[in-house]
Chain A
Amino acid sequence: MPEATNRLHATRFMPSVVLRIAVLVAAMFAAALLTLAIGQRSDVGLGNLLQLLLVDDGSLARSAVVDLRLPRLLVAGLVGANLALAGLALQAVTRNPLASESVLGINQGAALGVAIGAVMPSLIIVNLDVMAIMGAITAGIITFTIAGGLGGRLDSIRLILAGVTVGAFSFACVRFAFTLEDNLARIVLTWISADISSVSFAQVPALAVAAGLGLVASLFLAHGFNILSLGDGASQGLGLDPRRVRLLGALLAAILTGVSVSAAGPVGFIGLVVPHLSRRWFGHNHRLLVPVVALGGATLVLLADAASKLVRFPFETPLGIICALIGAPYFLYVTLSARRLA
């Protein structure tokens, strides 16, 4: 792709890659500090934060930092990294720079799974988190089916439109479920808005393992993703089986999304915004994009977490809402300003 090579050439004239990655890492740590410093307890602030982290003085302030804010920070950061990696894989696999878990209706499908599980608990023997994953997978399958199937050429626009349709239908059903019972409505509403204010360390290990595996797997697949973008014919010419790369990529995206959704609920747009921004600043080479996207995803969600605590202080605004309020306008800006899309 001439465009890609131009981009790769262009990077030579911008500040070196190493510098930009350093800035990104610094941004991530800054975001982490920021969200660690914000909270409802007044005895924890930027001033004594480091001291509380490092010195165990048995105080309540330290417990607030270590037992509450730290796991929340870890969950936010890991979810961000996972979802960004999932989005990158989805975009490579579908050759569509706008594919992401909420655009493809996967998040909304998960929400519908939870709503069904909550409305008819007698029918369901598994717990709500599993219902979420089942819903996500079903929605993904329906989207791909309507768009033309995994086998042949995936029509780019059809994929998005199919995803939006599946998502809209799922969400309509969820909103209908709200009217059936008030306690149920509150449970489902809380879940689908991805509120992480009550997470504990228990949710961290699964996310961390997924992030680690996701990074490693993505790096392995990075070369394949690069070649995929050249088209199926070129891929085969270069000795790569595009179907295998696509399948592995889709599987990777599904697992990363499923684990994140199960831990925090459906967070939308991270898989869209972060890879997109990363491509603008770091080029199209997936070997570089993978770590960048993970760092960028973590940074963005950490910032969103800080915002979710501030917007209606001292009451929380769920993380999913904040990410949608950031991501959707960005999506609109991208579609309006691009000169040529799809």
Chain B
Amino acid sequence: MIFWPVRAGLAAAALFLSASLSFSASALEVKHDLGTTDVPDEPKRIVALEYSFVDSLAAVGVAPVGIADDNDRSRIVPAYTDIIGTDWTSVGTRAAPNLEIIASLQPDLIIADTSRHEPIYEALSEIAPTIAFDSLTGKYDVALESARIIANAVGKSAEMDARLADHEKTMEGFKSEIGDVSDLSIQFLVDNGKGVYLHTPDSYNGSLLAWFGFRSNLKPNGGGTYTDVIAQSSLEQLSEVNPEIILRGKYADPGLTDSWVGQPLYDAIDAVSKGQVFDINAHEWSRLRGVLASEVSGASLVEVMKKVAR
């Protein structure tokens, strides 16, 4: 015979357990860029079609089974593979992921990019519940918000909240180390040997730098916004923009900017004359976005700023 409070307690526990079991059998409604989708609880087989989604999953320790890695496994950097391991299956390019390979992985959740994958959203939804976020054109705050929703969808809300709190502390730490930079103009550009591309304040990296407090010398030219989020540039334009710090991501060596060394207009740019042109990892800054990626960028930014005369 069991003492009656214990029996009551056991009964209550049994009730609670069955209730929570029936909760986990039902699905979760997730609101995303392309609508609202019912996502199964705690999905185990996730396919991520953009790097920022890999970032969000790694932030909460979830390993996807399939990643659109542009047929280059090295694009998933150690910062991610240390957490998620290396046995994901490549589903092809982000631009055109292979639907059959995705289906063969038998996923229970697909995370897609709004602008890239809208045309195949219907086809993806037939394979598995698909949620979509603006990774390609979204800014820093959008990336964090997407991370939050993704974590909720995979049942790791609490972990993500904790991680984001950590993230905020880390980033604020970087920010205070860097100090007040409101009087410093900075420009992030990509150099692929044939052309130079400036990331305007409407881009992810532009918004990230703005968050750190930097000024940008670019001005909106389309009635409040920029007609190009990432604009191809020339030496004349760069000299007119005249940033005090240049963060240069090179996809080719030698880059186009190297051929400009020696030209009066290039040497006269504040950043060049002060020796403040810093080469940073193009892939990490330009392609990777999200919680971990911005921390990596932040850390490299701190290193850069140590070399800047203040």
Direct contact of A and B (CB under 8 A): yes
| Residue positions of A touching B, CB distance < 8 A | 39-42, 60, 63-64, 67-69, 178-183, 186-187, 190-191, 195, 197-198, 200, 312-316
User: Could you say which of A63, A179, A186, A316 contacts B234, with CB atoms under 8 Å apart?
Assistant: A316
| Complex Cα spacing A312 to B227, Å | 8
List 9 tightest A-B contacts by C-beta distance, closest first. A197-B234, A63-B264, A40-B237, A40-B240, A179-B95, A315-B231, A190-B195, A41-B240, A40-B236
Assess the A315–B236 pair: CB atoms within 8 A. Answer: no
A312 contacts B221, C-beta separation under 8 Å: yes
| Docked complex: B73-112 residues within 8 A CB-CB of A | 93-96
Is B268 on the interface with A (CB-CB < 8 A)? yes
List chain A residues, Cβ under 8 A from B278.
Answer: none
- Which B residues lie within 8 Å of A200 (CB)? 259
With A68-B265, A198-B256 given, name 12 new contacts (CB 8 A).
Answer: A40-B240, A63-B268, A67-B263, A67-B265, A182-B287, A187-B192, A190-B194, A197-B236, A198-B196, A198-B234, A200-B259, A315-B232
CA distance A184 to B201 in the complex (A): 24
In the bound complex, what is the Cα–Cα distance between A182 and B239 (angstroms)?
27
Complex CA distance for A187 and B234, rounded to whole angstroms: 15
Closest chain A residue to B196 by CB distance? A198
- Contacting residues, chain B, for A191 (C-beta < 8 A): 194
The interface of chain B, by Cβ under 8 A from chain A, is 70, 93-96, 192-197, 221, 227-228, 231-237, 239-240, 251, 256, 259, 263-265, 268, 287
* C-alpha spacing A82/B228, complex, angstroms: 32
**CB pair B70 A181 closer than 8 Å:** yes
Contact of A316 among B93, B193, B232, B264 (CB under 8 A): B232
The reply to whether B263 and A63 form a contact with Cβ atoms under 8 Å apart is yes
Per the bound structure, the CA–CA distance linking A177 and B228 in Å amounts to 23
Min CB–CB distance A66 → chain B (angstroms): 9
Are B240 and A314 in contact (CB-based, < 8 A)?
yes
Inter-chain contact B264/A187, CB cutoff 8 Å: no
Query: Which residue in A68, A187, A190 is a CB contact (below 8 Å) of B236?
Result: A68
B95 touching A182, Cβ below 8 Å: yes
- Cβ-closest chain A residue relative to B282: A183
- A179–B96 touching, CB < 8 Å: yes
Q: How distant is the Cα of A187 from the Cα of B236 in the complex, in angstroms?
A: 20
B194 touches A187 (CB 8 A): yes
Closest to A179 in B: B95
Q: A41-B239, A315-B221 are in contact. Are A60 and B231 (CB under 8 A)?
A: no
Partner of A41, one of B221, B236, B259: B236
Question: Chain B residue with minimal CB distance to A176?
Answer: B96
> Would A195 and B232 count as touching, CB distance under 8 A?
yes
Contacts of A180 in B (CB 8 A): 93, 95
Tell me the bound Cα distance from A187 to B255 in angstroms.
12
Instruction: Looking at the assembled complex, report how far the CB atom of B191 sits from the nearest CB atom of chain A, in whole angstroms.
Output: 11
A39 in complex: contacting residue of B194, B233, B236, B264, CB < 8 Å: B236
Given the complex of chains A and B, what is the CA–CA distance between A41 and B238 in angstroms? Answer: 9
With contacts A67-B264, A315-B231 known, is A183 near B239, CB below 8 A?
no
Contacts of A182 in B (CB 8 A): 70, 94-95, 287
Nearest-neighbour CB distance to chain B for A49, whole angstroms, equals 14
A198 with B195: CB separation less than 8 A: yes
For B192, the chain A residues whose CB sits under 8 A away are 183, 186-187
Given A181-B93, A190-B194, A198 and B235 touching (CB < 8 A)?
A: yes
